[in-house]
Amino acid sequence: MSKPIIGWIGTGVMGRYMCSHILPLSEKMYVYNRTKSKTEALVQEGAIACDSVKEVASKSDIIFTIVGHPQDVEQVYFGSDGIIANAKKGALLVDMTTTKPSLAIKINQEASKAGLRSLDAPVSGGDVGAKEARLTIMVGGDELSFNTALPFFEKMGKSFTLMGEAGSGQHTKMANQILIAGTMVGLCESLLYAQSANLDVEQLISTIGKGAAGCWSLDNYGPRIVKEDYNPGFMVDHFVKDMGIALEEARSMGLALPGLALVEQLYVSLQGGNNGRNGTQSLILALKRLSSKM
């Protein structure tokens, strides 16, 4: 069986690694990023850099996207220069951006009208998960499209589940982000407390990580906090975007999520302090500021 021609749009912190993992499965790999220099590493591996979304769409059998915000997704998919207007008939579109469930449904509807197929497939695992191909991939769409994309998901992640119809992947990611929000504030408060009690924080992480407090965030972000390493595995700006989507969806369902609302405000305060492009572990800086005012 011949290999498909693959298009990839969005080669940032996570996308560049995800694209690299599936490159061997493609006959050709066309890549596009608004900042073209971010495609250079992939070009060195054999990918072909394009100058527009339209160019990628017109040449590819399967098109993956992972961009920043819902408005970026809309720009990439819709309009005369977008994916849907320019993709080959029968092409499969896989959006791996975390975005609004309603937008995933709109993409699916418009793609279907144009003779295309689509999946929403947001991921969890951060930069480390992307680099090491250990992402969790949450998928919405039909089973045939899921099975077409499965060999590529297997190269990018360790878990990949079809959660239901279009939009279900994004709803699953919102549930994921709600849980992470609570975990991150607990993690940062725990480490701040330990530091104030003059504990060996590295030893603390190793010790409590073996008990009921053990979790992915403690293992991956705890050591970064100790080293005061606030480089992004996942940016504050993007997490604020995700929490805003989750709160909007919750309101539409008649749900109150006070814990999420509180964490969102803490992260918004980080944005106000010019920390929006830091990693989510920089939440501890907001808590330190609050403590200094007591």
Looking from the CA of 3 toward its CB, the CA atoms found within 13 Å total: 13
Quote the number of domains for the chain.
2
Domain match, 151 and 185 both: no
Domain match, 154 and 198 both: no
Q: In the numeric block, which tokens belong to residue 286?
A: 């907001």
pLDDT in tens, 131-182: 999 999 999 999 999 999 999 999 999 999 999 999 999 999 999 999 999 9
Domain match, 113 and 177 both: no
Domain match, 16 and 147 both: yes
Predicted confidence (pLDDT) at residue 86 exceeds the cutoff of 90: yes
Q: Is 268 exposed, middle or buried (0-12, 13-18, 19+ CB in 10 A)?
A: middle
Domain match, 156 and 42 both: yes
103 Cβ contact partners less than 8 Å away, ≥ 6 residues apart: 70, 73, 74, 170
Domain match, 94 and 146 both: yes
Section 76-97 average pLDDT: 97
From 165, 186, 214, the end of a domain falls on 165
Strand partners, 30: 7, 48
Q: Which of 187, 117, 182 is nearest to 145 (CA)?
A: 117
pLDDT in tens, 213-229: 999 999 999 999 999 99
Domain match, 14 and 158 both: yes
Distances (CA, A) of 272 to 4, 64, 236, 288: 45, 33, 11, 15
CATH of the domain at 127: 3.40.50.720
Q: Is the pTM of this model over 0.85?
A: yes
Domain match, 115 and 184 both: no
Question: Which pLDDT belongs to residue 292?
Answer: 87
Domain match, 11 and 142 both: yes
Contact between residue 190 and residue 213 where contact means Cβ atoms under 8 Å apart: yes
Domain match, 209 and 281 both: yes
CATH of the domain at 238: 1.10.1040.10
pLDDT in tens, 252-290: 999 999 999 999 999 999 999 999 999 999 999 999 999
Predicted confidence (pLDDT) at residue 50 exceeds the cutoff of 70: yes
From 165, 197, 215, the end of a domain falls on 165
Catalytic residues: 173
Domain match, 49 and 179 both: no
From 165, 192, 219, the end of a domain falls on 165
Contact between residue 19 and residue 9 where contact means Cβ atoms under 8 Å apart: no
Q: Which domain range does residue 142 map to?
A: 5-165
Domain match, 231 and 104 both: no
Q: Which of 176, 135, 181, 127 is nearest to 154 (CA)?
A: 135
